[in-house]
Structure 1
Amino acid sequence: MTARPLLTSQNLLADILSSLDDDKAEEVVQVDLRGRSSIGDYMVIASGRSTRQVAAMAEHLVERLKQNFGIIAKTEGKEIGDWVLIDTGDIIVHLFRPEVREFYQLEKMWMPQASAKG
């Protein structure tokens, strides 16, 4: 029996980013919410090229979190695949098709003002 990694926000974030990288997610952005919001410690936003890829990335991530940390993540939107929200408790993950991501522009809402200017 293999021991699970220690469940910290940083370990969870690293595992999420690794899973998204394995699944060829595009434009992955992480937002540090610590001290800014009670919804979680981090938010991760990423894109997939199609509804199929977005749904597959979500499915792989949810399964990986269950195996590696015993987390049963809540998901919304996986059936449609335009925008999937995965809530791990400490980290909120948003997976989008590019057009939907552009429409909602979550990064602009959550990134620090200096980053939003440009």
Structure 2
Amino acid sequence: MLGCLDEMKAEETIAIDLAGKTSIADTMIIASGRSQRHVGSIADHITQEMKAKSFGTARVEGMPACDWVLIDAGDILVHIFRPEVRGFYNLEKMWGADRPSGLSAD
């Protein structure tokens, strides 16, 4: 996933290890797109990549507006935000991304 996000020029990509923190997923990836169109393109590319790599069918929420798109692939959650929306929700703080985990990616 991280390579795919990098390929699509997603910005400020981080991965948060959720193992032991919640049962909803093992990893949460958060990234930003520059615009609604960019967020939608990144989300579309990620879902196509998941299908190609046999991750199964991921549930996708938020595609019509593309302010915040959530891709739920079971053990992996991918959040793609416009920068303003990401700052408002601040998921990194909620899930403790400020703590070193060894999974951060630029």
TM-score (norm: length of structure 2)? 0.90
- The verdict on how the C-alpha distance between 1:28 and 1:77 changes in structure 2, with shifts beyond 3 A counting, is same
**Match of residue 77 from structure 1:** 62
Indicate yes or no: 2:22 matched with 1:37: yes
**Match of residue 8 from structure 2:** 23
Match of 1:98 among 83, 87, 96: 83
* Percent of residue pairs bearing the same amino acid type: 52
Indicate yes or no: 2:52 matched with 1:67: yes
Flag structure 2 segments of 5+ consecutive residues without an equivalent: 101-106
SS in 1 for 2:63: coil
Match of 2:40 among 38, 50, 55: 55
SS in 2 for 1:63: helix
User: Hey, what's the Cα distance between the residues in 2 that align with 1:78 and 1:93?
Assistant: 13
Residue 50 of structure 1 aligns to which amino acid in structure 2? S
Match of 1:86 among 42, 63, 71: 71
SS in 2 for 1:69: coil
- The verdict on how the C-alpha distance between 1:82 and 1:38 changes in structure 2, with shifts beyond 3 A counting, is same
Q: CA deviation at 1:39?
A: 0.4
User: Hey, what's the Cα distance between the residues in 2 that align with 1:57 and 1:79?
Assistant: 14
Q: How many residues align?
A: 100
TM-score (norm: length of structure 1)? 0.81
- The verdict on how the C-alpha distance between 1:52 and 1:67 changes in structure 2, with shifts beyond 3 A counting, is same
SS in 2 for 1:107: helix
- The verdict on how the C-alpha distance between 1:70 and 1:76 changes in structure 2, with shifts beyond 3 A counting, is same
Q: Is the 8 A contact 2:92 2:98 kept in 1?
A: no
Flag structure 1 segments of 5+ consecutive residues without an equivalent: 1-15
SS in 1 for 2:46: helix
